[in-house]
């Protein structure tokens, strides 16, 4: 990690930069080509891209019932129990987010209300690769089910033998998801955005991925498909004081660094002794990690920064807007009142970010790359639409009608005014 002591505030923006994502225009052009091919040639193009990028030729893009039936036997009982417990915790937390339909009379005879309805068709994208993210399937599938979305389509890359990770299939069974597509990358997002012979088109796409997936999700919005958020590589920022345990902090930093070479971790502290101790502990723990090569690449773009005051740390963090924010502080809850930009916050010395990644109950699908300044993480609301309703009685029309007539005439929208006037006249008759 880069050690930086008391940087001048004018240099903070450079320290808050994420890892370079490469040539954006070239990336967008590649993704646009994939979209055009998949939208034009459907399953044929999807199979070709799956063969090219995943190294497997598929005759059937959908997971068959017999594949689902045998999945549970391949998942250890302890892991099954852990997944079931995480599922229960997520349900408890997300159930509390159910909106209550309330009606209000804004003036006598004018009644307004708002009703939440589920997004009808949702696509869940779950990355595969070296670490299939079955936990992300829980994070997306639980609120999708609680929202009662009628159609849920899962896309995930196949292994070289054409199979889907059995833990993914077991989790899908637990969630009641039966439409599972063996496709990953930008080509899967393209298929979800327009549909193919095997892949139903959806209204909204959820899930993380690499920069190609992120670019594809943003391109999907041009075709009228919504997305959860622009999500990129994972990141964590730890704010720690002299009471923090260096081993705990180092483990938290490495837990994000091992996600991928483009992940980023940042430590802020006012204690020089802690700064040194944590960086030494990071090196010690890194040597024992199975994914140490990946984590080491991420650490190249990561920073340990010594600042002068808690206020400086808070200001830096809110500017950076981290996906995950750990407050390894003695007075963590007091400090947290000043947090205005973060995806999810972890308070105190005994609350690792990994708890939120898996099983505390909060959602781990969160805004990255500074989008926490203006996006929330995934919640039950992400799978719902809010539709407003209103109803006027004769009394209500007489009360609000003149207001509408006056305002419409002032804007020169005479047909608007007439729509009210004719009704008022009918009441007079």
Listed residues 350, 376, 402: the one ending a domain: 376
Cβ atoms of 222 and 249 closer than 8 Å: no
Residue 65, domain extent: 24-227
CA 220 to chain centre: 16
Domain-embedded: residue 370: yes
Domain-embedded: residue 385: no
pLDDT at residue 31 above 70? yes
Whether residues 300 and 369 fall in one domain: yes
Q: What is the pLDDT of residue 355?
A: 97
Phi, psi of 112 (to 5 degrees): -130, 150
Whether residues 111 and 138 fall in one domain: yes
Task: Assign 401 to helix, strand or coil.
Answer: helix
Q: What is the pLDDT of residue 44?
A: 97
pLDDT band at 132 (very low <50, low <70, confident <90, very high): confident
Express each pLDDT in 358-393 by its tens digit: 999 999 999 999 999 999 999 999 999 999 999 999
Q: What is the pLDDT of residue 22?
A: 54
Express each pLDDT in 292-326 by its tens digit: 999 999 999 899 999 999 999 999 999 999 999 99
Binding residues, as ranges, are 125, 187, 210, 234, 256, 259, 324, 357, 411, 416
* Nearest alpha-carbon partner for 139 in 125, 119, 118, 156: 125
Cα 72 to Cα 399: distance, rounded to the nearest angstrom: 63
Task: Assign 64 to helix, strand or coil.
Answer: coil
Q: How many domains does the chain contain in total?
A: 3
Whether residues 265 and 315 fall in one domain: yes
For 77, the token pair is 């009982």
Cα 202 to Cα 191: distance, rounded to the nearest angstrom: 9
Domain-embedded: residue 382: no
Domain-embedded: residue 122: yes
333 is catalytic: no
Whether residues 236 and 162 fall in one domain: no
The residue annotated as part of the active site, out of 87, 94, 324, 364, is: 324
Whether residues 222 and 327 fall in one domain: no
Whether residues 352 and 422 fall in one domain: no
* Tokens 């109950």, located at residue: 361
- For 201-226, what is the mean pLDDT? 94
Domain-embedded: residue 114: yes
Binding residues for Zn(2+), as ranges, are 256, 259, 357, 416
* Tokens 């000043």, located at residue: 338
Whether residues 139 and 39 fall in one domain: yes
Task: Assign 373 to helix, strand or coil.
Answer: helix
349 is catalytic: no
Whether residues 199 and 306 fall in one domain: no
Whether residues 198 and 56 fall in one domain: yes
The residue annotated as part of the active site, out of 281, 301, 323, 405, is: 323
Listed residues 198, 227, 256: the one ending a domain: 227
CATH number of residue 77's parent domain = 3.40.50.1980
The DSSP line for 136-192 is: HHHHHHHHHHHTT-SEEEEEEPPPTTS---HHHHHHHHHHT--EEEE--HHHHHHHH
Cα 411 to Cα 23: distance, rounded to the nearest angstrom: 47
Sign of torsion, CA 301 302 308 314? positive
Listed residues 212, 227, 242: the one ending a domain: 227
Whether residues 416 and 298 fall in one domain: no
Whether residues 131 and 247 fall in one domain: no
- For 253-282, what is the mean pLDDT? 96
Domain-embedded: residue 387: no
pLDDT at residue 282 above 80? yes
- For 191-213, what is the mean pLDDT? 94
Cβ atoms of 264 and 297 closer than 8 Å: no
Task: Assign 368 to helix, strand or coil.
Answer: coil
Q: What is the pLDDT of residue 317?
A: 98
Domain-embedded: residue 277: yes
Whether residues 156 and 244 fall in one domain: no
Alpha carbon separation from 179 to 56, 61, 195 (Å, rounded): 20, 11, 13
Cβ atoms of 363 and 139 closer than 8 Å: yes
Cβ atoms of 150 and 120 closer than 8 Å: yes
pLDDT band at 174 (very low <50, low <70, confident <90, very high): very high
Cα 31 to Cα 218: distance, rounded to the nearest angstrom: 10
Express each pLDDT in 13-22 by its tens digit: 999 998 765 5
User: What's this model's pTM, rounded to 2 decimal places?
Assistant: 0.93
Domain-embedded: residue 250: yes
Express each pLDDT in 78-122 by its tens digit: 999 999 999 999 999 999 999 999 999 999 999 999 999 999 999
Phi, psi of 292 (to 5 degrees): -65, -30
Those residues with Cβ within 8 angstroms of residue 136's Cβ, 6 or more apart along the chain or in another chain: 126, 127, 207, 208, 364, 365
């Amino acid at each position: 990690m880069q050690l930086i002591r008391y940087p001048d505030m004018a240099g903070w923006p450079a320290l808050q930069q994420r890892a370079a994502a490469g040539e954006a225009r070239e990336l967008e052009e590649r993704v646009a080509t994939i979209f055009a091919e998949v939208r034009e040639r459907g399953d044929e193009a999807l199979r070709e891209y799956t063969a090219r990028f995943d190294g497997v030729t598929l005759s059937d893009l959908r997971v068959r019932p017999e594949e689902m039936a045998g999945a549970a036997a391949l998942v250890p009982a302890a892991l099954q129990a852990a997944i079931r417990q995480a599922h229960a915790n997520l349900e408890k937390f997300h159930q509390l987010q159910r909106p209550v339909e309330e009606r209000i009379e804004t003036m006598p005879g004018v009644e307004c209300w708002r009703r939440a309805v589920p997004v009808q068709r949702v696509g869940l994208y779950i990355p595969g690769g070296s670490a299939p993210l079955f936990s992300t399937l829980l994070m997306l599938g639980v609120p999708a089910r609680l929202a009662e979305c009628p159609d849920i389509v899962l896309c995930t890359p196949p292994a070289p033998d054409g199979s889907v990770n059995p833990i993914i299939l077991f989790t899908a069974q637990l969630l009641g998801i039966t439409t599972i597509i063996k496709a990953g990358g930008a080509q899967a997002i393209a298929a979800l955005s327009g549909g193919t012979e095997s892949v139903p088109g959806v209204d909204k796409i959820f899930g993380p991925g690499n920069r190609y997936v992120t670019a594809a999700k943003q391109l999907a919005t041009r075709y009228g498909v919504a997305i959860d958020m622009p999500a990129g590589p994972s990141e964590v920022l730890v704010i720690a004081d002299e009471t923090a345990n260096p081993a705990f902090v180092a483990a938290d930093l490495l837990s994000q660094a091992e996600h991928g070479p483009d992940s980023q971790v940042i430590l802020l502290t006012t204690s020089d002794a802690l700064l040194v101790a944590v960086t030494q502990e990071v090196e010690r723990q890194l040597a024992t990690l199975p994914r140490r090569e990946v984590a080491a690449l991420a650490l190249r773009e990561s920073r340990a920064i010594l600042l002068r005051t808690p206020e400086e740390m808070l200001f830096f963090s809110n500017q950076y807007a981290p996906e995950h924010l750990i407050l390894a502080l003695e007075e963590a809850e007091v400090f947290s009142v000043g947090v205005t930009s973060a995806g999810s916050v972890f308070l105190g010395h005994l609350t690792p970010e990994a708890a939120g990644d898996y099983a505390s109950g909060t959602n781990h699908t969160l805004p990255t790359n500074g989008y926490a300044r203006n996006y929330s993480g995934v919640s039950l609301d992400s799978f719902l639409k809010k539709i407003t309703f209103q109803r006027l009685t004769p009394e209500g029309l007489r009360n609000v009608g003149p207001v509408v007539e006056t305002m419409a005439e002032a804007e020169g929208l005479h047909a608007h005014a007439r729509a009210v006037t004719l009704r008022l006249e009918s009441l007079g008759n």
